[in-house]
């Protein structure tokens, strides 16, 4: 047996799978029905124990590590599993899918990620919704739990998932011209692979740099700036704020996704706050306040922008249909836009994929 012990002392017991390791982290839930290979490798989950509310997990296994034209992994959003641990109601070790190469449990075992099955994830999720996200730990049978748990959001989680040196990606020749031979420099705060791919498919040269890389003193020339998704509290990334603030001063076209929206808002002068339990799923409804159109989106974040603190030259562009939190912002006159959701999907619907085209037009 293994136990999930929450910071308030609540204990959920179940059967271990994956690695037999003890870990701690922030316990969060995801209400999506599918997409666990992509979700588990999303850097935005760094420091978190993930609870999947869909009852059966693992039935279609895990695909291979093949890479695309640009050397990016086809089936995963980073090069490794990013979550601390996984909690499911019913784990399926017998998988069936034409692309599957191994079970979810074996994949987790190879990367030293523990899981627990047999947990009442409905009851656990209800507790997290009422109390808010909580710290917790997975403890194997016979092991003693940690006396005190550290909140991972107090650390700079972005530094742990960002690259260390710049990487330049060139578009496929057949796509050159679609992006008007433009170049984007991307601040990697935990970027998902399909974001990179989404720009490259549009013929844009993509320069990926570390989270605190001074793009203003670099050798690179660029037409626009992208601020990536990622984990943790956006307020601790003061070095990134300074870099983006200069982009606003220079009026360079800038787009942010998820954490990138929060960073852009802070650089503009707004403030952020922590949500009670965040938005994590592929079924979050978002309303474009200009067109009144509603989109289904993929999301993974625990912080949000306080709309009341946005400067007067910025507007709330989109909002969450469930709780009316900020899902998109833009400048009234200058080429600055950002969304809280993931238009690149993986996993999730591709309803908002058009936003990449809209930004390329701004370059």
Among 22, 31, 28, which Cα is nearest to 45's?
28
Per-residue tokens: 96: 């069936």
**Residue 47 near residue 158 (C-beta atoms within 8 A):** no
Report the relative pairing of strands 23-30 and 48-52 from DSSP bridges.
parallel
Q: What are phi and psi of 191, to 5 degrees?
A: -65, 140
As a whole number of angstroms, the distance between CA 101 and CA 119 comes to: 26
Among 28, 24, 23, 6, which Cα is nearest to 301's?
28
H or E segment and range at residue 198: helix 193-200
Among 225, 235, 227, which Cα is nearest to 256's?
227
Biggest CA pair distance of the chain: 61
H or E segment and range at residue 19: none
Angle at 111 between CA 145 and CA 340, to 5 degrees: 85
Please identify every residue annotated as catalytic: 258, 342, 344
């Amino acid at each position: 047996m293994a136990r999930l012990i929450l910071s308030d002392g609540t204990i959920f017991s179940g059967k271990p799978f994956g690695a037999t390791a003890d870990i701690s982290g922030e316990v969060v839930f995801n209400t999506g029905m599918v997409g666990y290979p992509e979700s588990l490798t999303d850097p935005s989950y760094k420091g978190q124990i993930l609870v999947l509310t869909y009852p059966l997990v693992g039935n279609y296994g895990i695909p291979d590590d093949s890479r695309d034209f640009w050397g990016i992994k086809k089936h995963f959003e980073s090069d490794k599993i990013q979550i601390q641990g996984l909690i499911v109601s019913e784990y399926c070790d017998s998988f069936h899918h034409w692309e599957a190469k191994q079970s979810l449990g074996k994949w987790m075992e190879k990367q030293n990620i523990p899981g627990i099955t047999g947990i009442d994830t409905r009851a656990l999720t209800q507790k997290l919704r009422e109390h808010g996200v909580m710290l917790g730990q997975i403890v194997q049978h016979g092991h003693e739990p940690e006396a005190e748990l550290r909140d991972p959001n107090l650390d700079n989680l972005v530094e742990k998932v960002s690259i260390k040196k710049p990487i330049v990606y060139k578009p496929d020749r057949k796509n050159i011209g679609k992006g008007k031979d433009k170049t984007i420099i991307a601040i990697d705060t935990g970027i998902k692979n399909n974001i990179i791919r989404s720009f490259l498919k549009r013929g844009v040269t993509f320069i990926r740099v570390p989270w605190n890389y001074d793009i203003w003193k670099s050798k690179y020339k660029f037409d626009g700036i992208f601020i990536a998704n990622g984990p943790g509290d956006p307020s601790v990334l003061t070095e990134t704020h300074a870099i983006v603030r200069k982009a606003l001063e220079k009026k360079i076209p800038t787009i942010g996704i998820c954490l990138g929206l929060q960073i852009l808002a802070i650089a503009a002068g707004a403030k952020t706050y922590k949500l009670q339990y965040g938005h994590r799923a592929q079924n979050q409804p978002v309303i474009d306040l200009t067109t009144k159109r509603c989109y289904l989106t993929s999301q993974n974040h625990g912080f949000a922008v306080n709309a009341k603190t946005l400067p007067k030259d910025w507007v709330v562009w989109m909002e969450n249909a469930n709780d009316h939190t900020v899902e998109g912002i833009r400048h009234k006159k200058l080429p600055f836009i950002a969304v809280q959701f993931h238009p690149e999907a993986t996993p999730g619907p591709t309803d908002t994929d058009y936003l990449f085209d809209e930004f390329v037009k701004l370059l």
